[in-house]
């Protein structure tokens, strides 16, 4: 996979690869059609899976399909082990399209209680208006999930690792359960498992190979990597793809070709190197944090103390099969010894390497307080927003410099 990330496909009908070393960036909203027949063919063939070995597709209009984005899509599909991919203008665009492509009014979805704040908001603020029921159920509790399944249930939605706590959900166990339920269902009512794989990326975990039906990504994070592009992607099988693409055509959140190009040219070729390096730092920083008296709890899948260590080792693997605990850390301070808000504020004002900012999977180390920021959609009365946990996304800086700044902040705010 590491070489594939650098070079992409050796040949694809989406582009002429004999002359370019770097894929060209197309920037044309519309495409010249040499006859009405060709135009009609473009529309009638739209939504069919594109074969990289076949004839070039008939491009019509950017929102439908276009060569630069298409190249990124074929690459992401291959990295995740799926048949197809559709790229969106944001991660939320991808999540709402993945689910929107198969859920109808009257349908029901099961979702893990803790999710990224805007995904929670989608389920609590918008799905009721659309007449889609959502039950929030601990997706590691098989009996509870089985009990929550109704005839109208069409999907199970999870993040693993969960943002921000890094709790893991066992995808293989969910697959077994879905297969049991699907035995008695017709094809069009089968339960689909949708996994947000943003935290791990396909380099660190491939949910489709573990039994998921659809995978979502915020490309804004590690896949883009440099914090310059916002985007999303859904990877799935041919069976789910047509509806997904039609949803994107009509709801309209297609990824801009310029963003697709940057992710393809800068993000993917550096993904493995960045992730391995960020992870090395995360291991060192997590170990150091664990030893600090002011740190009351720490969640990092690479620590021996991580409660789901076995599941982490089973699920989070790089393409060579090595354990990939990732580059995200979530920790709590003993509030009597070091007030967490003062600690984060101190870093915001004084740190050089650590930036207070939302987002993650960036070349720069980012810190935030999810309860107050990214997860505030849970509302003031929810334990999620009352939680004063701190999320750290490791970048490419020297880990000793990060530790030095954390140490300085602990010393400055400790009572």
Ligand X SMILES: Cc1ncc(COP(=O)(O)O)c(C=O)c1O
In this complex, which beta carbon is closest to ligand X, that of residue 132 or of residue 263? 263
Residue list 123-182, contact with ligand X (CB under 6 A): 159, 163
Angle at 78 between CA 73 and CA 80, to 5 degrees: 95
Considering the complex, what minimum distance in angstroms separates the CB of residue 271 from ligand X? 16
Q: What minimum distance in Å lies between the beta carbon of 259 and ligand X? A: 11
Distances (CA, A) of 97 to 204, 266, 366: 24, 26, 28
CB of 44 to ligand X, least distance (A): 32
Q: Give Cα 356 to chain centroid, integer Å.
A: 21
Taking a C-beta distance cutoff of 8 angstroms, is the pair 365, 393 a contact?
Answer: yes
Instruction: Note the helical H segments in 58-150.
Output: 67-80, 91-100, 117-121, 127-130, 142-148
Give the Cβ contact number of residue 320 at 10 Å. Answer: 8
Binder of ligand X out of 57, 67, 91, 155 (CB under 6 A):
91
Q: 121 near 377, Cβ under 8 Å?
A: yes
Q: Does 90 bind ligand X (CB under 6 A)?
A: yes
Q: CB nearer to ligand X: give 132 or 366.
A: 366
> Per rule CB under 6 A, is residue 330 in the interface with ligand X?
no
Cβ-based nearer residue to ligand X, 251 or 288: 251
Q: Which residue is nearest to ligand X (CB)?
A: 91
User: Looking at 60-68, 89-97, 100-108, 292-300, which segment touches ligand X (CB under 6 A)?
Assistant: 89-97
- In sequence order, which ranges of 292-327 are alpha helices (DSSP H)? 309-315
Task: Tell whether residue 198 is a contact of ligand X (CB under 6 A).
Answer: yes
Q: What angle do CA 247, 111, 385 make, to 5 degrees?
A: 110
The pattern of x and - marking residues 212 through 241 that bind ligand X according to CB under 6 A reads: ------x-x---------x-x---------
Q: How far is the CB of 220 from ligand X (least distance, A)?
A: 4
Buried b (16+ CB within 10 A) or exposed e, 281-292: bbbbbbbbbbeb
Residues that bind ligand X (CB under 6 A): 90-92, 116, 118, 159, 163, 196, 198, 218, 220, 230, 232
């Amino acid at each position: 996979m590491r070489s594939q990330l650098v070079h992409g496909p050796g040949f694809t009908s989406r582009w002429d690869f004999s002359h370019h070393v770097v894929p060209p960036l197309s920037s044309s909203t519309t495409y010249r059609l040499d006859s009405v027949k060709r135009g009609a063919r473009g529309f009638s063939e739209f939504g069919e899976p594109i074969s990289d070995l076949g004839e070039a597709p008939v491009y019509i209009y950017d929102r439908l399909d276009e060569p630069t984005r298409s190249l990124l899509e074929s690459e992401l599909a291959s990295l995740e082990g799926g048949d197809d991919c559709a790229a969106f203008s944001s991660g939320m665009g991808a999540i709402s399209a993945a689910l929107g492509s198969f859920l109808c009014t009257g349908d029901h979805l099961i979702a893990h209680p803790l999710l990224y704040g805007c995904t929670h908001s989608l389920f609590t603020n918008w799905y009721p208006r659309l007449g889609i029921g959502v039950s929030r159920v601990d997706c590691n509790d098989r009996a509870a999930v089985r009990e929550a399944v109704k005839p109208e249930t069409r999907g199970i939605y999870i993040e693993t690792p969960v943002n921000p706590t890094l709790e893991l959900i066992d995808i293989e166990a969910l697959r077994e359960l879905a297969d049991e339920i699907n035995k008695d269902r017709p094809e069009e009512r089968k339960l689909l498992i949708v996994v947000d794989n943003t935290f791990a990326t396909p380099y660190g975990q491939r949910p489709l190979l573990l039994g998921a039906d659809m995978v979502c990504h915020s490309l804004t994070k590690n896949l883009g990597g440099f914090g310059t592009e916002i985007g999303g992607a859904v990877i799935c099988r041919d069976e789910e793809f047509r509806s997904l693409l039609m949803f994107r055509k009509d709801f309209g959140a297609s990824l801009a070709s310029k963003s697709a190009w940057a992710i393809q040219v800068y993000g993917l070729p550096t993904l493995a190197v960045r992730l391995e390096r960020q992870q090395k730092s995360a291991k060192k920083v997590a170990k150091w944090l664990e030893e600090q008296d002011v740190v009351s709890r720490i969640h990092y899948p690479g620590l021996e103390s991580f409660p789901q260590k076995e599941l982490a080792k089973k699920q989070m693997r790089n393409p060579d099969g090595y354990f990939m605990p990732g580059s995200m850390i979530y920790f709590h301070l003993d509030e009597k010894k070091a007030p967490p808000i003062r600690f984060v504020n101190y870093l915001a004002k004084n740190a050089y390497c650590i930036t207070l900012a939302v987002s993650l999977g960036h070349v720069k180390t980012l810190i935030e307080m999810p309860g107050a920021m990214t997860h505030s959609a849970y509302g003031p009365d929810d334990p999620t927003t009352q939680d004063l946990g701190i999320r750290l996304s490791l970048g490419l800086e020297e880990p000793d410099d990060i530790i030095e700044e954390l140490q300085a902040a602990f010393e400055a705010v400790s009572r």
